[in-house]
């Protein structure tokens, strides 16, 4: 069942963009798959973006809180999941997949044929790993980008500089603590994939021989803010060079994740390099403690906006087989 919003948007094959409230601006049309915490928070952020318009919010249960939120915001909703896009492929240019790692594999098989650009929020390891502070431009060349994990978004840019400053990184470790209430069912069922995906990103971006990732769900009430620590074992830790680079990177991330803060500047403790950051969310869908949702979603929005600004050249690139909009 697809439910039209109170103010139906005119959708059709001829429709190539969306007119915002000022009636002047072409926006990239975005569908969100998955109506859980991630999908719903993404929706709120998409609606705020000057470059993006949400033309479909698709999940499996119209009675879910996310669906109710989307309906209240006047967004078109469907409980048919991916089928809603199969039935009406022209409804969107880009799809945020906020379902689960296992579902994403099936979704990508469908969306690739439909010529969609996909920003994958799950730890599926299918698409190109995207950390906007590091490789946003490169990612424009890919039709499926993977937003790694919340802990990956918080830590990989810092780990990257550890890898840049030191010729050999023997070992990198990242520990993220998040509030229990901020982790929905898909996050929980995917905890092993979270670990594996974060570790892969650390090995790749920090050029580390070995990497380990740990995720802690903290039951405390009131909820704790997201906290992420990067540990490293390197020969001859160069704090003098590392500190300004880390501070610069923190400012760069703050440009798209306003609540990202350095809590412990790089130090050497007990033979370990240590950097700690805290992430507070903007409080869009879940409260501010859910910095984990905020950081991965802010990163995804930054990526989608980059596609929008580049007018998704990949869709016109013949090597990808074109798109229904060509």
Partner 1 sequence: MTSVLISDPTLRDGNHAVQHQLDARQIALYAAAAEAARIPIVEVGHGNGLGASSLQVGESLLGDREMLETARKRLVNSKLGVHAMPGFATINRDLKQAVAVGVDVFRVGVHCTEADIAQRHIGYLRDKGREVYGVLMMSHMASKEVLAEEALKMESYGAEGVVLMDSAGAYLPCDVTEKIRELVKSLSIAVGFHAHNNLGMAVANSLAAVQAGATIVDGTARGFGAGSGNAPVEVIVAVLEKMAFSTGVDLYGVLDASDIAEKGLMRVIPSITSVSVVSGLAGVFSGFAKHVERISGEYGVDARDVFFELGRRNVVAGQEDLIIEVAIELAAGKRGGGCI
Where along the sequence are the contacts to partner 1 (CB under 8 A)? 171, 173, 175, 177, 180, 185, 188-189, 191-192, 195-196, 212, 214-220, 224, 227, 229, 231, 233, 263-264, 267, 269-270, 272, 274, 276
How many C-beta neighbours within 10 Å does residue 166 have? 22
Contact 312, 28 (CB under 8 A): yes
Alpha-carbon distance 36 to 167, whole Å? 42
Q: With respect to partner 1, which residue has the nearer C-beta, 11 or 217?
A: 217
Q: With respect to partner 1, which residue has the nearer C-beta, 171 or 320?
A: 171
How many C-beta neighbours within 10 Å does residue 262 have? 19
H-state helical runs in 57-120: 65-72, 82-87, 101-113
**What are the catalytic residues?**
150
Q: With respect to partner 1, which residue has the nearer C-beta, 23 or 271?
A: 271
User: Shortest approach of partner 1 to residue 169 CB, angstroms?
Assistant: 13
User: Shortest approach of partner 1 to residue 104 CB, angstroms?
Assistant: 17
Alpha-carbon distance 11 to 90, whole Å? 8
Alpha-carbon distance 185 to 188, whole Å? 5
Q: Which residues contact 16 (CB under 8 A, 6 or more apart)?
A: 26, 325
User: Shortest approach of partner 1 to residue 195 CB, angstroms?
Assistant: 5
Q: Which two tokens stand for residue 312?
A: 């998704």
Q: With respect to partner 1, which residue has the nearer C-beta, 216 or 310?
A: 216
Q: Which two tokens stand for residue 129?
A: 């790993």
User: Shortest approach of partner 1 to residue 219 CB, angstroms?
Assistant: 4
């Amino acid at each position: 069942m697809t439910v039209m919003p109170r103010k139906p948007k005119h959708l059709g094959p001829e429709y190539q963009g969306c007119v915002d409230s000022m009636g002047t601006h072409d926006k990239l049309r975005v569908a969100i798959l998955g109506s859980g915490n991630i999908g719903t928070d993404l929706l709120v952020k998409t609606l705020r973006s000057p470059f993006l318009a949400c033309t479909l919010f698709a999940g499996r249960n119209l009675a879910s809180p996310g669906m109710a939120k989307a309906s209240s915001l006047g967004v078109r909703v469907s409980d048919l999941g991916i089928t809603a896009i199969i039935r009406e492929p022209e409804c969107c240019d880009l799809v945020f997949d906020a379902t689960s790692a296992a579902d994403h594999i099936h979704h990508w098989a469908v969306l690739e044929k439909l010529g969609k650009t996909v920003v994958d929020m799950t730890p599926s390891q299918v698409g190109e790993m995207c950390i906007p502070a590091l490789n946003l431009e490169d990612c424009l060349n890919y039709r499926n980008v993977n937003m790694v994990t919340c802990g990956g978004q918080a830590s990989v840019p810092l780990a990257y500089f550890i890898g840049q400053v030191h010729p050999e990184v023997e070992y990198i470790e990242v520990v993220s603590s998040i509030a229990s209430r901020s982790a929905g069912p898909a996050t929980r069922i995917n905890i092993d994939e979270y670990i594996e995906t974060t570790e892969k990103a650390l090995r790749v971006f920090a050029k580390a021989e070995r990497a380990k990732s740990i995720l802690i769900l903290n039951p405390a009430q009131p909820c704790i803010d997201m906290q992420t620590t990067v540990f490293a074992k390197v020969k001859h830790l160069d704090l003098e060079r590392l500190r300004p680079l880390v501070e610069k990177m923190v400012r760069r991330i703050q440009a798209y994740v306003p609540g990202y803060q350095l809590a412990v500047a790089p130090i050497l403790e007990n033979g370990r390099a240590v950097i700690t950051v805290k992430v507070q969310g903007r409080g869009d869908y879940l409260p501010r403690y859910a910095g984990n949702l905020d950081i991965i979603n802010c990163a995804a929005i930054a990526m989608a906006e980059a596609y929008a600004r580049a007018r998704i050249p990949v869709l016109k690139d013949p090597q990808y087989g074109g798109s229904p909009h060509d």
